[in-house]
Amino acid sequence: MLHGHHTLGEPATRRFRELLAQVDPALAELVSFHTFDSIRRQPDGAGETGAEESEFERATREERVRSMRRADL
């Protein structure tokens, strides 16, 4: 099954980039296709940029915290 996903490769990556660009063009520019093997070949920390948290990341983190607090009630 995963092999079938990999055959989508670049066409799926392009389409995802197009869809994401409608919401966040800057983020869409960062989209790239990876296989499990290509990720395994990356050095540790290769995906870490040290960039500031995006608005989406902040909102998602805050929602997770609110959700966990509601679950504790």
Q: Is residue 68 part of a domain?
A: no
Q: Is residue 49 part of a domain?
A: no
Please list, in sequence order, all residues whose beta carbon lies within 8 angstroms of the beta carbon of residue 18, skipping any fewer than 6 positions away: 28
Check pLDDT > 80 for residue 19: yes
Please list, in sequence order, all residues whose beta carbon lies within 8 angstroms of the beta carbon of residue 56, skipping any fewer than 6 positions away: 24, 27
> What is the pLDDT at residue 69?
82
Nearest to 35 by CA among 3, 66, 65, 57: 3
The answer to whether residues 31 and 14 touch, using CB atoms and an 8 Å cutoff, is no
Structural domain including 2 reads 1-42
> What is the pLDDT at residue 67?
85
Q: Is pLDDT larger for residue 36 or for residue 59?
A: 59
Count of structural domains within the chain:
1
d(Cα 52, Cα 36) in Å, to the nearest integer? 27
pLDDT category of residue 62 using cuts at 50, 70 and 90: confident
Q: What is the pLDDT of residues 31-56, one digit of tens each?
A: 888 777 777 777 765 555 556 778 88
Total-model pTM: 0.45
Q: Is residue 66 part of a domain?
A: no
